[in-house]
Amino acid sequence: MEFCDECGSMMKPDDGNWVCGACGFEKPRDAEAEAGMVTTQGQVESEIVDTSDVSAEDMGPTTNATCPDCGNDRAFWDMKQIRSADESETRFFTCTACGHRWREDDH
């Protein structure tokens, strides 16, 4: 992955150059530097973890949140920083009844 020297956006490879989709800045690709980059190609997905035998106390905190699938009013929750550091965290919910997962972002 390469980031633009001008605006900091992620660049995409285009033939022998890296091209910024945000500002159009281009720079030549460096095969030696790219050899050290980690990609998702060829990586194996991790196993799905079965939590059916885990007690509710071990699943983590719950809150009042209405499941969009079944209407249940309790959900496990956790927060993760998935955007840039100056953006708020994203809240993830898992319904305590049906296991449906959804997320909530601040706008």
**Looking at the domain assignment, is residue 45 inside a domain?**
no
**Looking at the domain assignment, is residue 48 inside a domain?**
no
Per residue in 6-18, pLDDT (tens digit) is 999 999 999 899 9
Q: What is the spatial distance between Cα 21 and Cα 11, in angstroms, rounded to a whole number?
A: 6
Q: How far is CA 2 from CA 15, 31, 68, in A?
A: 14, 12, 38
What is the tally of structural domains in the chain?
2
Range of the domain at 16: 2-34
Angle, alpha carbons 62-66-72 (nearest 5°): 80
Q: Is the same domain home to 97 and 63?
A: yes
Q: What is the spatial distance between Cα 59 and Cα 17, in angstroms, rounded to a whole number?
A: 47
Per residue in 49-78, pLDDT (tens digit) is 676 676 666 667 888 999 999 999 999 888
**Looking at the domain assignment, is residue 43 inside a domain?**
no
Token readout for 33 is 């530097």
